[in-house]
Structure 1
Amino acid sequence: MRAARFYDRGDIRIDEIPEPEVKPGEVGIDVAWCGICGSDLHEYLEGPLFVPPAGHPHPISGESAPVTLGHEFSGVVSSLGEGVDDLQVGQHVVVEPYIIHDDVDTGPESRDYHLSRELGFIGLSGCGGGLGEKVSVKRRWVHPIRNDVPLDEAALIEPLSVAYHAVDRSGAKAGDFVLVGGAGPIGSLTAAVLKARGATVAVTELSELRRQRVLDTGVADHVFDPTKVDVAEEVRRLTGGRGADAAVEATSAQPVLDTLLNALRPQGVLQVVAIWTKRASIDLFQVVMKEIEVRGSIAYVNTHPSTIQLVESGAIDLKPFITGRIGLDDLIDKGFETLIHHNETAVKILVSPSGEGL
C-alpha cells in the first residue's frame, strides 16, 4: 500500500509499504480521509518533535523514523482481529490515536490517561497512520460513527475532540461570554463547540478570510480585527464593562495571549490549547490582581463519544470547515505548502490516501 512517511525535517516521502497485520484485539481500517494537522506542519518545519528520530525508537511502539503520518482520520472497518466482536466489517469509524502503555487505566472514568508516561500518537510515534491506505488499531481506540455521517466530515472529529476537551477544561457554560484567540482550525472548532453549548462567542483574528468564515458558519457572534479595534475594550463594551468569562488561546502568538489576558474579567479563565514551541511571557501582575486561572489542555480524554454525539445530533456542522481535498501525491505542494504559506485560505485540508472520493 502507499503511505506518506516522515523521515526527517522537511523530508516526507510517499512510499510503498506492506499492509498492516491485523492482530488479536485490533481493528483493520481502510482509511477514507485524513486531515493535515498543525502538529504535522510542526514536524515538517521543526521536527522531529513527537516523531521518534531515526535510531531512537519510541518506548511503546518500538518504532522510529521513518513513520507513517496522519492522526486525524476516518475510515471503514475492513477486518476484525481475534476477540473483537462488537464491530462489523463495513462500519464507519474514527480513531482516538493514542499509543499508551497497557497498564494505564483508560476506562470510562479516567480523566488523565492522555497525560500518562511515554504516551505517543498513532500517525506520529508509529503504529501506522491515516496518511496510509490502511491501518490496524487496538479496539479501545476505535469509535464507531453512524454510517450516515459523511466520512470526510468524520475526519474532523479528532480535532473537534481537541476543541471539546479545551472547552471542558475552560469551564465555559451556557450564557458565558467567551473570547477565542485565532480562527484557524482549532480556534474555529472551539468556537463551534462553545456555540453548541450556548455560549456567546467572540473571535479575534488577523485574517479577513478567516474572520468572514467564522461569521458565515455561524460559530461566532462577534469577530474582531485586532489591527482595527482594541479587542479588550470591545469585549468590555459588550459585557457591560465586566470582561470575558473565559478566553481560549489557539494561536501560540504572544500578542494574542496578551489580548486575551487583558480581556478577561476578574476570576476569569485563560485556557491555552495551542502548542507553543517557544517560551511565552505572561503578565503575572494581571493574573494576581484579577485572580485569573491559567489552564492548559492537550488532545482529549474520554471525549470522543460526546464529540461524536454533537456531530450525529446535528449540533455542529463540520462541512464548512473542509476547505480542500487532495490525494497523497499532492500532499506537500497542495497540502503542507498551502497551510504553511497561505493558511488564511484554508481551515482543514483532507487527504484521500487511496484517491477515492476525489
Structure 2
Amino acid sequence: MRAARFHGQKDIRIDEIDTPTAGPGQVLVDVAWCGICGTDLHEYLEGPIFVPQPGHPHPVTGEEPPVTMGHEFSGVVAELGEGVTDLEAGDHVVIEPYIIREDVDTGPESKTYHLSQDMNFIGLGGHGGGLGEKVAVDRRWVHRISKDVPLDQAALIEPLTVGFHAVERSGVKAGDVALIGGAGPIGLLTAAVLKAQGVTVVMSELSELRRKKAVESGVADHTFDPRETDVVEEVKKLTDGRGADVAFECTSVQVVLDTLMDAVKPRGVIVIVSIWGQRSDFDIHKLVMKEIDLRGTIAYVNNHPETIELVESGKIDLAPFITGKIGLEGLVDEGFDTLIHRNETAVKILVSPSGKGL
C-alpha cells in the first residue's frame, strides 16, 4: 500500500510499504480521510520532535524514521483481530491515536494516561498512521461513530477533542464569556465546543478569512482584528468592564498571551492550548496581582465519547471547517505548502490516502 512517511526534516516521501494486518486485539482500518495537523507541519519543518530521533527507536513502538505520518483520521473497519467481538467490518470509526505503555491504566476513569511516560501518537511515534491507506490499531483506541456523520467530517473529531479537553480544563460554564486568541483549526474547534456548551465566544484573529469562518460557522459571537481594534477594551465593553471569564491561547505568540492576560477578569482562567517552541516572557507580576489561573492542556484523556456525542447529536457541525481535499501525492505541494505559506487561506485540509474520496 502507499503511505506518506517522514524520513527527515523536509523529507516526506510517498512510499510503497507492506499492508498491515490486524493482530490479536487489533482492528484493521481502511483510512477514509486524514487531516493535516500543525504538529505535522512542525515535524516537517523542524523535526524530528515527536518522531523518534534516528538511531533512537521509540521505547514503546521500537520504531525510528521512516515512520508513517497522520494522526487525525477516520475510516472503515476492514478486519478484526482475534478477540475483538464488539465491532463489525464496515463500521465507521475514528481513532484516539495514542501510543501508551502497556502498564499504564487507560481505563474509563483515568485522567492521566495522556501524561504518562513515553506517551506518543500513532502517526508520529510509529504504529502506522492515517496518511497510509490502512492502519492496524489496538481496539482500545478505536471509537465507533454513527454512519450519519460523513467520514470527512469525522476526521475532524480528533482535533475537536483537543478543543473539548481544553474547555474541560478551563472550568467554563454556560453563560460565561470566553476569549480565544487565534482562529486557526484548534481555536475554531475550541470555539465550537464552547458554543455548544452555551458560552459567549469572542475571537481575536489577524486573518480575515478565518474571522469570517468563525462568524459564518456560528462558533463566534464577536471577532476582532487586533491590528485594528483594542481587543482588551472591546472585551471589557462586552462584559460591563469585568473582563473575560476564561481565555484560550491558540497561537504560541507572545503578544497574544499578553493580550489575554489583560483581557481576563481578576481570578480569570487562561488555558494554553498551543505548543510553544520557545520560552514565554510574560508579566508574572500581573499574573500575581490579578490572581490569574494559568493552565496547560495537552491532547485529550477519555474525552472522545463525549466529543463524538456532540457531533452525532448535531450540536456541532464540522463541515464548515473543511477547506480543502487532496490526494496523497499532493501532500507537500498542495497541503503542507499551503498551510505553511498561505495558512490564512485554509482551515483544515484533508487527505484521501487511497484517493477514493476524491
Which TM-score applies when normalising by structure 1? 1.00
> CA offset at residue 54 of structure 1?
1.9
Q: Deviations over 1:62-100 (max 9, x none)?
A: 000000000000000000000000000000000000000
Query: Is contact 1:322–1:348 with CA below 8 Å preserved after alignment?
Result: yes
Q: How many residues are matched? A: 358
| Alignment correspondent of 2:241 | 241
Q: Deviations over 1:113-165 (max 9, x none)?
A: 00000111000000000000000000000000011110000000000000000
| Alignment correspondent of 1:162 | 162
| Alignment correspondent of 1:67 | 67
CA distance in 1, matches of 2:285, 2:55: 46
Q: Deviations over 1:248-271 (max 9, x none)?
A: 000001110100110000000010
Q: Deviations over 1:307-331 (max 9, x none)?
A: 0000000000000000000000000
1:109 paired to 2:98: no
Query: Is contact 1:260–1:270 with CA below 8 Å preserved after alignment?
Result: yes
> CA offset at residue 229 of structure 1?
1.1
| Alignment correspondent of 1:306 | 306
Task: Give the SS at the match of 2:285.
Answer: helix
Q: Deviations over 1:281-329 (max 9, x none)?
A: 1211111111000000000000000000000000000000000000000
Q: Percent identity?
A: 69
| Alignment correspondent of 2:352 | 352
| Alignment correspondent of 1:31 | 31
Task: Give the SS at the match of 2:41.
Answer: helix
Task: Give the SS at the match of 1:107.
Answer: coil
| Alignment correspondent of 1:203 | 203
> CA offset at residue 55 of structure 1?
1.4
> CA offset at residue 50 of structure 1?
0.2
| Alignment correspondent of 1:223 | 223
The aligned amino acid for 2:235 is V
Query: Is contact 1:191–1:219 with CA below 8 Å preserved after alignment?
Result: yes
| Alignment correspondent of 1:182 | 182
CA distance in 2, matches of 1:341, 1:78: 37
Query: Is contact 1:61–1:126 with CA below 8 Å preserved after alignment?
Result: yes
| Alignment correspondent of 2:92 | 92
> CA offset at residue 357 of structure 1?
1.5
The aligned amino acid for 2:174 is A
Task: Give the SS at the match of 2:118.
Answer: coil
> CA offset at residue 176 of structure 1?
0.4
CA distance in 2, matches of 1:208, 1:354: 34
Q: Deviations over 1:155-182 (max 9, x none)?
A: 0000000000000001111000000000
CA distance in 2, matches of 1:4, 1:256: 34
Query: Is contact 1:8–1:53 with CA below 8 Å preserved after alignment?
Result: no
1:206-285 equivalent positions in 2, closer than 5 A: 206-285=206-285
| Alignment correspondent of 1:292 | 292
Task: Give the SS at the match of 1:160.
Answer: helix
The aligned amino acid for 2:9 is R
4+ residue runs over 4 A deviation: none
CA distance in 2, matches of 1:213, 1:21: 40
| Alignment correspondent of 1:335 | 335
Structure 1 spans left out of the alignment, 5+ residues? none
CA distance in 2, matches of 1:210, 1:279: 27
Task: Give the SS at the match of 1:7.
Answer: strand
CA distance in 2, matches of 1:53, 1:330: 26
Q: Deviations over 1:224-274 (max 9, x none)?
A: 110111111110111000000000000001110100110000000010000
CA distance in 1, matches of 2:23, 2:262: 53
CA distance in 1, matches of 2:257, 2:71: 27
| Alignment correspondent of 2:15 | 15
Task: Give the SS at the match of 2:351.
Answer: strand
Which TM-score applies when normalising by structure 2? 1.00
CA distance in 1, matches of 2:249, 2:238: 20
CA distance in 2, matches of 1:53, 1:30: 28
CA distance in 2, matches of 1:283, 1:250: 19
> CA offset at residue 21 of structure 1?
2.4
